Amino acid sequence: MTLRVLCVFLLSGWLSIYAAALPIPENGPALRIQGSNTIGADLGPALVEGLLQEQGLLKIHRETPDTANEQRIVGQTAQGQRVIIEVAAHGSSTGFAALKNASADLAASSREIKDSELLALQTLGDLKSPAAEQVIAIDGLAIILNPSNPLQQLNTEQLARTFAGEVKTWEELGGRGGAIHLYARDDQSGTYDTFKELVLSRRGKSLSSAAKRFESSEQLSDAVSNDPQGIGFIGLPYVRQAKAVAIADGASQAMLPLNSLIATEDYPLSRRLFFYLPPDSRNPWAQALASFAQSPEGQAIVAASGFVSQTVQAMSVAPNALMPEGYQSLSRHAQRLTVNFRFAEGSASLDNKARQDLARVLDYIKRNGKTERAVTLVGFGDLKDDPARADLLSKLRAMAVRRELVKNGVVMREVRGFGALMPVATNSADEGRIKNRRVEVWVY
List Cβ neighbours of 381 (8 Å cut-off, separation of 6 or more): 390, 393, 394, 397, 417, 419, 420, 436, 437
Phi/psi at 269 (nearest 5 deg)? -110, 30
| pLDDT of res. 390 | 87
| pLDDT of res. 20 | 64
| pLDDT of res. 346 | 65
| pLDDT of res. 10 | 47
Query: Cα 227 from chain centroid?
Result: 29
- The ranges of the chain annotated as CATH 3.40.190.10 are 3-135+273-304, 140-261
| pLDDT of res. 17 | 46
Query: Cα 209 from chain centroid?
Result: 28
Strands (E) across 39-121 are located at 58-63, 70-76, 82-89, 106-109
Domain with residues 312-443, CATH architecture = 2-Layer Sandwich (3.30)
Rounded to 10°, the helix 3-16/387-407 angle is 50
pLDDT tens track of the chain, all 444 residues? Answer: 444 444 444 444 444 444 568 999 989 999 999 999 989 999 999 999 999 999 999 999 999 988 989 999 999 999 999 999 999 999 999 999 999 999 999 999 999 999 999 999 999 999 999 999 999 999 989 999 999 999 999 999 999 999 999 999 999 999 889 999 999 999 988 889 889 988 998 899 999 999 999 999 999 999 999 999 999 999 888 999 999 999 999 888 899 999 999 999 999 999 899 999 999 888 999 999 999 999 999 999 999 998 999 999 999 999 999 899 999 999 999 999 999 999 877 667 899 999 999 999 999 999 999 999 999 999 999 888 888 988 999 999 999 999 999 999 999 999 999 999 999 988 877 778 888 999 999 999
Domain with residues 140-261, CATH architecture = 3-Layer(aba) Sandwich (3.40)
Superfamily of domain 3-135+273-304, CATH level 4: Periplasmic binding protein-like II (3.40.190.10)
CA–CA distance, 215 with 413 (Å, rounded to integer): 50
Residues 380, 440: contact at Cβ < 8 Å? yes
Phi/psi at 35 (nearest 5 deg)? 140, -130
